Amino acid sequence: MDYPLDNAIYLWEEGDRRLRELSADPRAGRRLARAVDAVRDELRRRIGPTFTAGELAALYGAGTDWALEAIRWVMPEDGADLDPQAAVDGAFFAYLRGATDFAGGKLIPS
C-alpha cells in the first residue's frame, strides 16, 4: 500500500518550515544544511534522478531509518543536537521539487 501523498507533502512542508525556523541560528543552520545534504545524497542513491511524487512518498512511507543513519554517519558529533526529523522531512521536501509530476509547488495533473 502506497503512503498517502497528501500526508507526505504536509509532513515535508512542516519539516521545511521547521528547518527555516531552526536555521535562524547560523551555527544550527550550517549543521542542518549538512544533515539535509546527507539525506539528499542518499535519496539520489535510493530513488535516482527520475521519479514521481508518489514514488518518493512510497519510499518515505517504507521508513526513514536509513535517512537518520545517513545523518549520524556524516555528523556523529552533532547528530544529537539536531532536530533530525526536520532534516529528513525538509530533505524530502527539497527533493520533491525534482519529481517529474511536480512543478511550481504543485502536483501536475496526469
To 10 degrees, the CA torsion angle through 29, 34, 36, 41? 160
CB atoms within 10 A of CB 97: 11
pLDDT tens, residue by residue, 37-58: 999 999 999 999 999 999 999 9
Pair 33, 86: CB distance under 8 Å: no
Listed residue (94, 73, 78, 110) closest to 13, CA to CA: 94
* Max CA distance (Å), the chain: 45
Q: What is the pTM of this model?
A: 0.92
- 78: pLDDT confidence band, cut at 50, 70 and 90? low
Per-residue confidence (pLDDT) for residue 105, from 0 to 100: 86
State the average pLDDT for the chain. 93
